[in-house]
Structure 1
Amino acid sequence: MGIKSFLAARKEQKKNTGDVPLKVSDYMTTKLITFKSDQRIENVIDTLIKHRISGGPVVNEKNELIGVISEGDCIKQISESRYYNMPMDNQTVEKHMVKNVETIDGNMNIFDAANKFLESKRRRFPIVENGKLVGQISQKDILKAALKLKGHTWK
């Protein structure tokens, strides 16, 4: 008895036609929950829990990025407050936020941004244009972009 081939018709693979969005700005979040430097830490903790986020940008009245506050910053404050037996009532974001914030360009390629996440061990990067906060890209946004691009030839 002879051998028969059971190969079915093959699907044609999608090709990168150049119209596939590959920029950070195509996948960044633009509707952000932001914080003010004079906000109380307890208020920030409530917001983080309510919205199920791990941190957010801190902006001034002109929507200029001045820092980032995270769960870790809040936990550190709770720990210090407990250790020194100090109330948290008067603790503000300004005293606990990270002020030296690394940002990325909205025109950056999504794969270069993924590399930047790996190198920096950060969970999110703010995107600033003309001095104003315009969005934020997170590791989860990179994963979503990768799923959308699945099947395309990546260059």
Structure 2
Amino acid sequence: MGIKSFQGRRAEPEKAASTPMCVKDYMTTDLVTFRKHQTVIEVMEQLMHHKISGACVVDEDYNLQGVISEGDCIKHISDSRYYNLPMDDNLVEKRMTCDAITIDAEMNVLEAAKKFIEHRFRRFPIVSNGKLVGQLSQSDVLRAALALKGQSWGS
């Protein structure tokens, strides 16, 4: 007596959505931005007001200059206290991260998810020809994943 398999014929796996899930379709384009000459206090006020954890720093032509985050502001608070310096005396250009890592608007959102794991960032600026065009956050990736619900995770 041989062992019989009662497993039925398997259906072919469904392909993912026919159009790729590009970063540009999920990125935020209505952004809070800062300029290098603003104070860190102004940044803290705006981060709290907009309930965000960081934002891009741009010039007057919207070229990306860097990013500034809550962590950068907390470092400023700590340094001000440690060195007994005035809190409102520091500019964004002294606290921002200048070498911001960006991602391409045409990148698949699921590939972008790997970048969040690799770099442990909360957001990535999206730049086209040097100009800031959007930002992709971790919650944007989650929104894209929910849109795929019930489909294959393939690209």
User: For the Cα contact (< 8 Å) 1:28–1:137, is it kept in 2?
Assistant: yes
Q: Deviations over 1:7-64 (max 9, x none)?
A: xxxxxx9763404x51111100000000000001111000000110000000001100
Sort the Cα spacing of 1:124 and 1:17 in 2 relative to 1 into closer, same or farther, 3 A: closer
Give the aligned partner of residue 30 of structure 1: 29
Structure 1 residue matching 2:16: 3-state secondary structure: coil
- In structure 2, C-alpha distance between the alignment counterparts of 1:86 and 1:154, rounded to whole Å: 51
Figure out how many residues of one structure are paired with residues of the other and give that number. 142
Structure 2 residue matching 1:108: 3-state secondary structure: coil
Q: Which runs of 4+ in 1 moved over 6 A?
A: none
Give the aligned partner of residue 18 of structure 1: 18
Q: Deviations over 1:89-135 (max 9, x none)?
A: 22110000000110000000111100111011111100000111000
- In structure 2, C-alpha distance between the alignment counterparts of 1:17 and 1:55, rounded to whole Å: 32
Counterpart check, 1:139 vs 2:153: no
Q: Which amino acid aligns with 2:104?
A: D
The gaps in structure 1 that reach 5 residues or longer are: 1-12
User: For the Cα contact (< 8 Å) 1:14–1:151, is it kept in 2?
Assistant: no
Taking structure 2 as the reference length, what is the TM-score of the superposition? 0.87
Structure 1 residue matching 2:132: 3-state secondary structure: strand
Counterpart check, 1:48 vs 2:60: no
Sort the Cα spacing of 1:17 and 1:79 in 2 relative to 1 into closer, same or farther, 3 A: closer
- In structure 2, C-alpha distance between the alignment counterparts of 1:117 and 1:16, rounded to whole Å: 22
- In structure 2, C-alpha distance between the alignment counterparts of 1:72 and 1:40, rounded to whole Å: 15
Question: Root-mean-square deviation (CA), in Å?
Answer: 1.4
- In structure 2, C-alpha distance between the alignment counterparts of 1:104 and 1:82, rounded to whole Å: 36
Which is worse superposed, 62-71 or 80-89? Answer: 80-89
Give the aligned partner of residue 113 of structure 1: 112
Give the aligned partner of residue 75 of structure 1: 74
Identity %: 56
Q: Which amino acid aligns with 2:60?
A: E
- In structure 2, C-alpha distance between the alignment counterparts of 1:154 and 1:92, rounded to whole Å: 44
